[in-house]
Amino acid sequence: MKKLLQYSILFMFLAFVVYQSVYIKKLNEVNTAKQTFDVQSFSRKFVANDIKLSVDSSLELMEWRRGMLQDPETTFSRYTHALNIGNIRYGMVHGEGRVVSITENEVTLRVKQDSASVTVYVQTEFVYGNAVKEATGTIKLTDFNSTTDLNNVSKEVNKIIRTELLPNFKSNVRVGQFVYFAGAIEENKEHVKVNEFELYPVQLIIRK
């Protein structure tokens, strides 16, 4: 009887320890708990705040061009940004140009100032990649726990541009119109472009 009581107490003690040590949770609850980064909310705020501020402080395209021709080193260091080590950098520019052609993938603008003329290919289909995210210069690697979260910001921001900015523009733009544009461009320090620019748009206004 005494032994039975002792074993019972021991069993109850062990059962109590095991109960306190082991937790059973549904897998989807654990996965949901891990996903703490809300990429959609972050990207919306980024578009509303960071991109807007970046456009407000951006260089006019022809001024950018002058900087790249006369003093590329200073222009790169002051007006471009990149998270990666290497020669590829991104900057935000704005300007106005006349529509010279429209294809399913881009709208081509001719931008003139005095005797200088450049071509801007406003991307209307293939808005992918890091240009818009990194051109603002506000994103830091240390802001994110994982590379996946960082890449998802690019993905989400680009999706907002493709689905919310571009459809209205594409359906209303015509050859001959003047368009105000603001957007990100990619430059390579080893071979700088000064006459043709591929623009990832963040703002497009068709002038009446």
Partner 1 sequence: MNMKKTLCRVTRFAFLLMLIGVPIACKQKTEQHKKMAIIISTLNNPWFVFLGENAAKRAQELGYETKIFDSQNNTALESDHFENAIASGYSAILFNSTDADGSVVNVRKAKEAGVPVFCMDREINSSDAATTQILSDSYSCCVNLGKYFVKQLNKKGKYVELLGLVGDNNTWSRSKGFHEVVDNYPGLKMVAQQSADFDRNKAMEVLESILQANNDVNAVFCGNDAMAMGAYQALVAAGKDKDVKVFGFDGAEDVIQSIAEKKIVATGMQFPRVMAYTAAELADQYLKGKRSFPAKMPVAVELVTQDNIQYYTAYGKK
Q: Nearest CA to 150 among 138, 158, 161, 139?
A: 139
End-to-end CA, the chain: 99
Q: Are 79 and 59 in contact (CB under 8 A)?
A: yes
Judged on CB neighbours under 10 Å (0-12, 13-18, 19+), 14 is exposed
Shortest Cβ 191–partner 1 spacing (Å): 6
Identify which of residues 36 and 147 has a Cβ nearer to partner 1 in the complex: 147
Identify which of residues 50 and 134 has a Cβ nearer to partner 1 in the complex: 134
Identify which of residues 96 and 198 has a Cβ nearer to partner 1 in the complex: 198
Shortest Cβ 84–partner 1 spacing (Å): 4
Q: What is the DSSP letter of 114?
A: T
DSSP-derived pairing of the beta strands 88-102 and 59-60: parallel
With H, G, I as helix, E, B as strand and everything else as coil, classify residue 105: coil
Shortest Cβ 60–partner 1 spacing (Å): 27
Identify which of residues 82 and 111 has a Cβ nearer to partner 1 in the complex: 82
Applying CB under 8 A, the residues found at the interface with partner 1 are: 82-88, 105, 126, 128-130, 141-142, 145, 147, 151, 154-155, 188, 190-191
